[in-house]
Structure 1
Amino acid sequence: MAEAQRVRGVVARSKGAPVGIETVVVPAPGPGEARVRVQACGVCHTDLHYKLGAINDDFPFLLGHEAAGVVESVGPDVTEVAVGDYVVLNWRAVCGQCRACRRGRPQYCFATHNATQKMTLEDGTELSAALGIGAFAELTLVAAGQCTKVDTAAPPTVAGLLGCGVMAGLGAAINTGGVGRGDSVAVIGCGGVGDAAVAGAYLAGARAVIAVDVDDRKLEWARGFGATHTVNSRTHDPVEAIRSLTDGHGADVVIDAVGSPETWKQAFYARDLAGTVVLVGVPDPEATLEVPLIDVFGRGGSLKSSWYGDCLPSRDFPVLLDLFLQGRLPLDRFVSEEIGLDDVEAAFDRMHAGEVLRSVVVL
């Protein structure tokens, strides 16, 4: 019978305070749960948002969620995974029973779930696991459905990135945007999510992939993922630039990977008639949008939001890693540096400064 274990983990105790290494008590898995030995975990903007109190104030948080590792033990009635399985963790453990699941659309599951038990500090204080995962730790407890078995040939530093940002961007292009052969695509914001959207558009066969950002360094990164054109929106009007690169019409699909009212309007007016706008950047909760309704009507097309790239982990993770292993999807380009648990606070600073695409904690 498995017992509770004590491991090192990165904890944010209060809003805006530096994170610290704490001893985390990880319970033995109960019904429907799995305990995973974490091998690598990416440092995502969402973790920084938790630390800053921008998601909720359920401190203390056990941070980290873009992770891959090996199943160490499972609870009763678990059939999805077994001890020894190599898995990528996800925050979409589908329920199979909600109205979306019953209609054959589990990628929109409205009742995704996490482990029932809580990990704690040594004094018994319950920890809020980031996105129900908490993987800046040597061991974590999740719902078994949060574990997606993948090919062991994919290194954990790469595989774990599918757990959040990279999947969000790839899915925004492929799943939500429906990019196809010959389409023109523009991506506004070329951080990790935006560059993944660029890679997804290129993979889908887009004839033109236009990357837009305010940082020339990020635009150069986007070229490495398949961008055919780049636009610095500090010096050029992005709407006019996108139109000029698409015969004056606008792009078939425009992906907003920033999530501000300004960038969404740019995406809206930079698309062709009957084109598609995809919002995948997470907006500030206080942000509002005002657009003439006649423009919404008159331009036609689709205005979409992309949740987690509208992915179904069991379907998408293995396929994308197969494409990586075949040399067709450069997921390894997202890894800017490998760090230890003690380096997470400094990694947040480098991420905020735009110096890295992804720092990856290796355990």
Structure 2
Amino acid sequence: MKHKYIAKRYWNTVASAMGEVGTMMGKYNDIIDLTFGDPDFTTDEIIINAAFEDAKKGHTHYTNFYGDEELRREVCKYYKEDYNIDISVDETFISTSACQGLWLVLETITDDGDEIIIHEPFFTPYPDQIKLTRGIPVYLDTYEEEGFQINVERLENLITNRTKAIVINTPNNPSGARFSDETLYKIAEIAEKYDILVIADDIYGLYTFDSEEKNMPFMNIKGMRERTITVCSASKDFAMTGWRVGYIIAPSYLIDAMEKINENNVFTAPSISQRGMLHAIRNRKLIQPKLYEAFKERVFYSYERICKTKNMSVLPPRGTFYLFPNIKGTGLSSEEVAKKLFEEAHVLVIPGNGFGKSGEGYIRIACTVSVDKIKEAFDRINRMSIFS
């Protein structure tokens, strides 16, 4: 919006693909919303009750500027127990969500004109966050026929003397792709060769469906510890989206710089939310299996329905609770298909081009409603002429 009192850098800012959804919700009273990556589960009572007790005990003040010290120690303990990675407390920082954490990381490392590589399809805030921190987003295409894996030759061709970092998101929102160990090792070789940082967005670490093991943290690759910044959150792995709390793991000199910047932004993450994440991580073996099994059931049910739907196809699920169906068989654009789904079936999805040009010809489905709701959604979809 252009206005003399709005900063000119925001005059051409438009709503993201996710942001536009809110205006559509009230049009029909039977909408099935498959857009938002907000788990429909209420945060587990173990977390709520423990955080409530902590609030009554006085955890209602600012925490340490780096974050609740007990929580930071718990993060270190978690990485040691689950990944055998030794992390020191001074390499951790508690952020006000992973989104704010990613902005903080970019604000810390980006000089004017620095280039940050992001792979398409991407989480919608990435480009604008890079621009907000005076950087230049550089887009790396990925393709369904390659499993949406990063092609290292194409990656290397994008690197210039202004490249500062690459953001990797695996398991990936929106495609659901999970990068192979081979892909990650090749990215590490490129990062070392060109002396660039790797920002690992690990927000969906719980949801890996093609292996019994969790996704390998990028920092665990030899030589990558000193050049990896890991951003994570309680939102998806613990159904805590509304608590707005996450953490960053990085070399201590970067953590110190982030703390100084964050003092001028939000000061500290909410104390109660930090206590909630502490109890979430501490009780993860009780809490997470229920979430994992529920979302796995939904994702694979949706996958089976997609495979039986005319003019729609999708890769087998590998991670996250999203699916990224190919709808090119309809002969329509992503936006046209999303509009038809909304108007004819009253099903809300996000058009794939909202995640970058590599997403054209796809839609994103978030399996964040019950199997019964998903069944009803596909029953409606299968009555549409373009899908029947």
Q: TM-score if structure 2 supplies the norm length? A: 0.32
Q: Which has the higher contact order (CA 8 A, sep 6+)?
A: 2
Higher fraction of strand = 1
* Higher helix residue share: 2
